Amino acid sequence: MVSGEELQEVVTAHSPDSDDAFMFYGLATRKVRSALVKFQHVLSDIETLNQKAMQGVYELSAISYHAYPYVADKYVLMASGSSIGDGYGPMVITQKPCELSELKGKRIAVPGLLTTAYLTLKIVEPDFEPVVTPFDRILEAVQTHAADAGLIIHEAQLTYNRSGFHRVIDLGKWFKQEYGLPLPLGGNVLLRSLSPEVQSECTRVMRESIQYALDNHDEALQYAMQFARDLDRNLAEKFVGMYVNHYTVDCGEVIPRAAQKLLDLGFEAGVIPKRVEVEFVR
């Protein structure tokens, strides 16, 4: 093994969410190491990471799949580290029971215009007024009538009904019913300017980190719990189980197909300005 000074530093940016914390556990605690690269971790919310990726700020970054067409000139997707909703995903909620058709023209609090949740909702219902709101304030925005409905991501998908909200649509369920595919929500990308050797090593180590967390579930969950907003252990375990799965370890052939379908639909709907081919490093 080369000495630490000779390792190539890779600044690794991801969100402080329990599922990301779980999958990065092996790397962040140095249970999983590399003879080629060392990782410096930066934590930021996903919409900020999407914006930073447009500028090519970080060598390795989590992004929304919706953001990929805007950063594909600088980045390539990694085969490991994707958050996938297999028959479940972001949801639209309201204070009173509501049909999907009633969302037309309504103000909907959304967690960012580059999130995959926003893209998918625009494909389902193009006619609404987005009210960009921090993801952890969306329920509050609906409660205070700053918005008529809310597009929820992260842990709110498991807790919204505690506050008496009603689900209008689950976008992951809709995507699965319509196209028979899981909904790719977030992924990891690597700068194209990194050498092929470093790209492959980052992907390998990421895959090992996720597998380590799955193999050492209790300790990885304990670590991730510090990032789980207002979730008890059972709910945190459920949330992590939803979004860290076999597709996260390796995207296989299904996720590239699903991502291509989603982005093509976004282009056809006029949400994404250009068509891109998804490209993964394995």
Catalytic positions are: 154
Amino acid at 237: E
Q: For residues 141 and 147, is the Cβ–Cβ distance under 8 A?
A: yes
151: its two tokens? 């597009």
Return d(Cα 218, Cα 177) in angstroms, integer. Answer: 33
Return d(Cα 20, Cα 62) in angstroms, integer. Answer: 9
Return d(Cα 208, Cα 80) in angstroms, integer. Answer: 9
Task: State whether residue 9 is helix, strand or coil.
Answer: strand
HSE of 250, CA atoms in CB hemisphere, 13 A: 7
Q: What torsion do the CA atoms of 176, 151, 222, 79 make, to the nearest 10 degrees? A: 50
Return d(Cα 94, Cα 217) in angstroms, integer. Answer: 35
Largest CA-CA distance found in the chain, in angstroms, rounded: 61
Please name which of 154, 246, 198 lies closest in space to residue 9, comparing C-alpha atoms. 198
